[in-house]
Structure 1
Amino acid sequence: MRIDYAGRDLAMTVVLPDEGRLEDVEALLADGGLAGLLEGRPEGVQLELPRWTFRTQARLKDALAALGMPTAFDREEADLTAMSEEEGLHVAAVLHEVFVTVDEEGTEAAAATAVVVTTESMPPPLTPFVVDRPFLFVVHDVRRGVPLFLGRLADPRG
């Protein structure tokens, strides 16, 4: 279920797997299936989405080293002279923190705020889309399909 933000450049897609299938969908994402989940947009849906606040912190040193930049963290091998003339510099840690709040007024993610706007014309009957079990969400750039925030809410009841 894609929820477009004002301007329609950004959106949040809510992925509500069938009961007991959250791990299967997460495995699909791990195998590069995110683009397929961001495609398409259902029409005529009445969304019931819980309010939530999502905050997480991650240390990225090991992940970045595994992705091909271990030298930056090595005291002996690091070469940061393009950034500073001081000798012996290396990256000690990379920390990442994400904050996302969703409520009836919109989404706040880090320092970005978006407001959801609806039309006032008479819509056709809506199909319920009730988010009442574990789900995934992606705040993403619509045109490029680039994820900005990706998260999982294990207990939407609070």
Structure 2
Amino acid sequence: MMTQKQKFEYANLRSFEILKLPYVGNEMSMIILLPKETDGLKQLEANLSLENLKGWKRRLDKRDVLVFLPKFKMTSMFRLDKTLVSMGIIDAFSNSKANFAGMDGRSNWLYIAAVIHKAFVDVNEEGTEAAAATAVVIGAMSAPAPSPTFRADHPFVFLIQENQTGSILFIGRVTDPTETGE
């Protein structure tokens, strides 16, 4: 478990706490939604929507917070072929209809065989690594201090967002924060 005391944007809401960890450069940040009850993840996820998230983020207030955060690492991989076809991108996947002549000068030679999306997030003492970019959490490691204490020792949701637009780049859940993430 990593420990850090710093001024962070934080809110203690009715059924969960929310913490915003800025990255160096302040272009991105990690937002952690921690249910107050150890079995509260399902209810939190049921209430998670873009509109609710915007409202929750408006309640954030910058203050000294002692943060206990586990190291974690996760990867995901999805095939997007069927999704793209359902959106109307059909010919590009057909070896008889695809036309990528602008790429190699010949028609009907190339087609899309598969579209695979792979993402990973690695949170450790050095910061967060997501996809191929590395960001570092601002703040210094320190000894424990008074409340509020944000202790992510049970399941939680995390998001990585681009701060200017609020676009969510990654979203995930940590269901067993006692694992080391190694």
TM-score between both structures, scaled by the size of structure 1: 0.79
1:13 paired to 2:31: yes
1:96 is matched with 117
Structure 1 vs Structure 2 CA RMSD: 2.7
Corresponding letter in the other structure for 1:7: G
Aligned length: 154
**Percent sequence identity over aligned pairs:** 36
From 89, 97, 115, the counterpart of 1:77: 97
Q: Which runs of 5+ in 1 are unaligned?
A: none
Closer, same or farther: CA 37–137 of 1 in aligned 2, 3 Å:
farther
Gaps of 5+ in 2: 1-18
Render the CA deviation track for 1:7-31: whole Å, top value 9, x for unaligned. Answer: 11110111223544434444455x5
Q: What is the rounded CA distance, in whole Å, between the counterparts of 2:123 and 2:162 in structure 1?
A: 17
The separation in 1 between residues aligned to 2:80 and 2:102, in whole angstroms, is 22
By how many angstroms is 1:134 displaced? 1.8
Counterparts of 1:126 and 1:18, CA distance in 2: 15
1:54 equivalent in structure 2 = 74
Q: Counterpart of 2:130?
A: 109
Corresponding residue to 1:136 among 140, 152, 157: 157
Following TM superposition, by how much is the alpha carbon of 1:34 offset from its aligned partner in structure 2, in angstroms? Answer: 7.3
Question: CA 1:90–1:38 in structure 2 vs 1: closer, same or farther (change >3 Å)?
Answer: farther
3-state SS of 1:16 partner? strand
SS in 2 for 1:144: coil
Structure richer in strand, relative to its length: 2
